Structure 1
Amino acid sequence: MFERLALKYAAGQPASLAMSWFEGEASFGQLSQDVSRVAFALFQLRDLVPSVVAIRCEHPYRHWVFILALSRLGIPSASLPGYVDANFHRSVKILSPDIVLLDEPVEGLDQQSLVLNEAWFEHVCQTGSDCVETIAVQPEDVVRYSVAGGTSQDARRIALTSRYVETAVYHLLFQDVLSHSHRPEGLRVLPTLGAETSSGFLIILSALVAGTRLQMVTGSELGLVFSQDVPTVAVVSPRHAEGILSRLPPGMKPLDNLFLTVAGGKLPKALCASIRQTLTPHVQVVYGADECGVVTIASTHTQSTDDEVGQPLPWVGLEIVDEQNQRVPTGVVGRVRVSGTGVVDGYDLDPTATAEQFREGWFYPGDSGFLDADGTLHLRGRADDLISFGGDKFDLDKLDMRLLGCPGVKDGAMFVVPDTQGLPAPWVALVTAEDFNLEVLSKWMRNVFPNLPDVTAVWIDALPRTESGQPDRLALQNAVKPS
């Protein structure tokens, strides 16, 4: 279904560039032909009636040809991370695909696998036949699955229907019109959010629908890409923004042709200032989640405080409520809840988790904040006990429980210290045996929490505790801040 949206531009502008990467590029006409031929080669997959086919293909162009070809066949797809690690296997477990398409063999998969390497892909695209059969897809048919992990510690599967994907694409295209009064012609879109998330998938799909060139890069190539004199739109997380700044060539001046959107809620003042001084003056902040899409947009030119994330988009319902789910007055801090056509119905095959965060037509992302007199949302943190590290949420108590089970750890606790840009960074205070190996702890923690970022460790003689016996995380934070 959505391949028709993505390839519509090819009918009128086949020579226009659809996607480029450092080793090559592909026009919309080439993309359309490759999708048709790969779909024909995979047509027999329909006989297996898979509920979902997952894709692991590190090359971004081939990955997207597989996504669009499966859509052409009416087969729901999902994307897996390109790097095979604990996070990869966690995604496989959550998505529970019937079949996994791989560009190279992967050990440890229980699912049926089909290895389609570069040689197979090139042979099919050069000599294969076109798929001429049309597969009917109804508006409420599920066409895409993804892992949502940004609003709770436990990642969960969400299902996107044909109607939802179409509506979300229109939202993103209209959002772009609303948030930018003027941008030059010949733009390229630089996606840094992977297709394995619904947000990353929809951003790339929307760029194809709009006929905009996608520049696909790895993290190590970002600095080089941004130093090129090409009008560019990029959507990044705060952590991505930090990484970009660290890779910029020395002496680089801010780029007036770069339009940067920072997704993930609040943008600390220090990080925002660094972006504007060294990368681009055109910075906006968006707040949202995979379960509800973009909720608000704020330009950093008009922000008065760094907790300000903008006013709700026209199709978004947003309220601040108390513990009894009653609306609170303007200026009063409460729980954020969201409704509208951008909100999914719930978590797929998980009624318990759905009941926790989806209630009476509202989605509760777990954030707290308030609305000011102008209707602008200000975020004040989490309404629960979770901490956000790099966009993923973690429960410090659960991290502590895992930490204390590691051989050689006598006592310890996780705590949070803002980094130089103002973003929360994970630290751990340890009481250990003398011959303790920190690498053992790293592997021990990531076996259960594969998305946990690098943690700074400090050794102490005894762990400070509150009167209730809990780790005194504030004391630990204050002890290391001066250093």
Structure 2
Amino acid sequence: MFDRFIDYVAKVAPDKIAIRSFEGSITFAAMNRDINRLAHALLDVIDNSSEIVAVNYKQVHIHWMLLMALSRIGVASASVSSNSEIAEKEIAILQPDAIISDTLFDIDTAAKIHVLDLNWYDQAMKRFKPDPIYTLYEPDRIVRVSIAAGTSFMRHRIDYTASMIESSVIRMITQEKISWSLMSEIPRYPTLLPTLAFGSFHGFLCYLSIWSIGGTIIMADREQYFAAIAMLSPDLMVISPAQLQLIAENLPEDIPRQDHLRLIVVAGNFPNGLRHFVQQRLTKNLNVTYATSEAGVIASINIDQINHDDTAGWIMPWIDVQVVDDQDHPLTYGEIGNIRIKSPNIVQKFFQNVQDTHKQFKNGWFYPGDLGILNEEGLLRLIGRVDELYNFGGDKFYANKIDAVICSIEGIKDAALFSMPDNDGIQQPWLAIVRGGNFDIDQIARLLEKEFYNLPDVSVLWVNSIPRDEEGHVLRNHLEKLAMQYIETI
């Protein structure tokens, strides 16, 4: 179904550029012809019993062409990592009927693996004619399968229907136009440099939304981002704070500020220091967006309206948000509680996971596992994750708040709170710290005593990096495993 976005633009604006890279450009007309060729080729490969096909292809351009061709022949798709170890875990969750890969990899799966390498792709482009293929638009048919993290970062499969994709794309376009209404000039046809993995639903929608309005996608590897910003002139990036931090740390001094560039930061927490650095060195045009795979874009705000690091944004017009207590009773404005969301076309369940479905989907509401504050004007703040609210000695502590305080110490590059049981089985606070230079270790204790006077004594684990997921959330359970391994060695 979603291949129709390309097909339509190819008819009304055939010469517009759909893809730009350091190797050249591809028009919508050329892209559409190649999708038709590839669709005919896949009909010779994919049997009728394959309803969901996972794509594992290193080259982003061909990966997307395969997704579009599968859509054109009426087969739902999923995207998995090119890393075989990660791909095996993703495939176990997605449970596809078949897998298309550019290389043979040994994994334990019941899915049929089709190795379609670059040579096969080149032959398909030469062998098959670009005769159009059309499938009926069935709004309730599953067309895309993705993986999302639940309240405890357990990964779940989510199935998206054609109507859900359609409405999500339209809403993302609407949000994009509204968010930049204060700018005097906005490109009619955006040029996006994507950074979010398109295996995630939000990353997937970013590509589709730009293509659906005749915009251009810049396809560049992560190590090419700086060159792409300087040479290929993107005017839009959608990025997580973790990815933005990496860019900030490695931004060459000779790259001037790109005031034509607009950044949409998908964040629950956007540190003040990082905001100021980006505005001074990269671009002044920043928007923050709060989104989930289950509900899409929930809130958005311009950087000039942010007063707190944890500001998520103004609630979108098609979304209802409430902050409730543990008994699901709505709280008064300004109180901290569990966020719940209601919207048309919101995901209603996780695939084959009744327990977490009942936990996160109740009476038409979706519970993303976030703690927040909502004011009477509809401004939402994200305080942290439900599973990141720690109880030590009867007192509650928000992990992200402690993370931010420790990271403010000069010489500490990154830090994250987690907990470990002591010899009596009582959970105690630990800090994982990444050194960024010399610092006074006693300052950690002094600062914690000042800001969190009732926090018990903290143990420290020195690490090379803080593990995070694709959205920048700290994987605190991974830190617990690292600490356990460390304890076993002493």
Query: Is the pair's TM-score, using the shorter chain for normalization, greater than 0.5?
Result: yes
Q: Report the secondary structure of 1:170's partner residue.
A: helix
2:205 — aligned with what? 202
CA contact (8 A) 2:267 2:312 kept: no
Q: TM-score, normalised by structure 2?
A: 0.80
Aligned to 1:100: 99
Residue 89 of structure 1, CA deviation: 1.5
1:474 maps to: none
Q: Could you tell me how far apart the structure 1 residues matched to 2:480 and 2:244 are?
A: 20
Q: Does 1:79 align with 2:82?
A: no
Corresponding residue for residue 179 of structure 1: 179
Cα offsets for 1:97-125 (capped at 9, x unmatched): 11100011112243311111111111211
Residue 416 of structure 1: CA displacement?
Answer: 4.9
Structure 1 residues 147 and 97: CA distance shift in structure 2, 3 A: same
| Unpaired segments ≥5 residues, structure 1 | 405-411, 421-426, 432-437, 444-448, 464-483
Q: Name the residue aligned to 1:322.
A: 325
SS in structure 1 opposite 2:299? strand
Paired-residue identity, %: 28
What residue number does 2:195 align with? 192
Confirm whether residue 14 of structure 1 aligns to residue 14 of structure 2.
yes
Larger displacement relative to structure 2 (48-57 or 34-43): 48-57
Residue 344 of structure 1 pairs with residue 347 of structure 2: yes
The 5-angstrom pairing of residues 110-189 of structure 1 reads: 110=109, 111-149=111-149, 151-181=151-181, 182-185=185-188, 187-189=190-192
Deviations 1:76-96 (A, max 9, x none): 1100112333x2211111111
TM-score by length of 1: 0.81
In structure 2, the CA distance between the partners of 1:228 and 1:108, relative to structure 1 (3 Å rule), is: same
Residue 50 of structure 2 corresponds to 50
How much does 1:139 deviate? 0.9
Return the offset for 1:418.
9.1
Structure 1 residues 364 and 84, CA gap change in structure 2 (3 angstroms): same
After TM superposition, give the deviation of residue 137 of structure 1 in Å: 3.9
Q: Structure 2: which amino acid aligns with 1:307?
A: D
- 1:283-322 matches, within 5 Å, as 283-322=286-325
Measure the CA separation in 1 of the matches of 2:229 and 2:175: 23
Contact 1:73 1:135 in 2 (8 A): yes
Partners of 2:345 and 2:289 lie apart in 1 by 15
Native 8 Å contact 1:46 1:73 kept in 2: no
SS at match of 1:380: strand
Q: Which residue of 1 aligns with 2:264?
A: 261
CA distance in 1, matches of 2:13, 2:435: 47
Which whole-Å CA distance do the structure 1 matches of 2:335 and 2:242 have between them?
30
Per the alignment, residue 408 of structure 2 pairs with none
Aligned to 1:65: 65
Assess if the C-alpha contact under 8 Å between 2:202 and 2:293 holds in 1: yes
**Which residue identity is paired with 1:159?**
D
Gap change, CA 1:458 and 1:13, over 3 Å in 2:
closer
**1:430/1:457 contact within 8 Å kept:** no
Q: Secondary structure at the match of 2:11?
A: helix
Question: 1:112/1:396 Cα in 2 relative to 1: closer, same or farther (>3 Å)?
Answer: farther
Q: In the alignment, residue 282 of structure 1 is paired with which amino acid?
A: N
Structure 1's 43 and 335: CA in aligned 2 closer, same or farther, altered over 3 A? same
User: 8 Å contact 2:228–2:234 — kept in the other structure?
Assistant: no
For 1:260 and 1:341, the matched residues in 2 are separated by 27
Any idea what SS the aligned residue of 2:3 has? helix
Q: Are 2:9 and 1:27 equivalent residues in the alignment?
A: no
CA distance in 2, matches of 1:170, 1:292: 14
- Superposed CA offset, 1:427-467 (max 9, x none): 98469xxxxxx99xx99xxxxx997899799999x99xxxx
Whole-angstrom CA distance in 2 between matches of 1:109 and 1:458: 27
Q: Secondary structure at the match of 1:327?
A: coil
- Asked if the contact 1:293/1:342 (under 8 Å) is kept, the reply is no
**1:79 & 1:71 partners in 2: Cα distance?**
13
- The equivalent of 1:415 in structure 2 is 431
**Distance in structure 2 (CA, Å) of the matches to 1:45 and 1:268:** 49
Secondary structure, counterpart of 1:381 in structure 2: strand
Would the aligned equivalents of 1:34 and 1:125 in 2 still touch at CA under 8 Å?
Answer: yes
Once the 2 structures are TM-superposed, how far is the Cα of residue 357 of structure 1 from its aligned partner? 0.6
2:224 aligned partner, one-letter code: E
How far, CA to CA, are the matches of 1:150 and 1:189 in structure 2?
28
The one-letter amino acid paired with 1:60 is V
8 Å Cα contact 1:227-1:248 kept in structure 2: no
Q: Could you tell me which of 268, 276, 280 is aligned with 1:277?
A: 280
Q: How far did 1:252 drift?
A: 3.1
Alpha-carbon shift at residue 126 of structure 1 (Å): 2.6
C-alpha displacement of 1:383: 2.3
Structure 1 window deviating more from structure 2 (224-233 vs 47-56): it is 224-233
Output the amino acid matched with 2:381.
Answer: H
Letter in 2 for 1:163: S
Q: CA RMSD in A?
A: 3.4
How far the C-alpha of 1:340 sits from its partner, in A, is 0.2
Verify: 1:358 aligned to 2:398, yes or no. no
- Alpha-carbon distance in 2 for matches of 1:450, 1:272: 19
Residue identity in the other structure for 2:261: L
More deviation, 160-169/337-346: 337-346
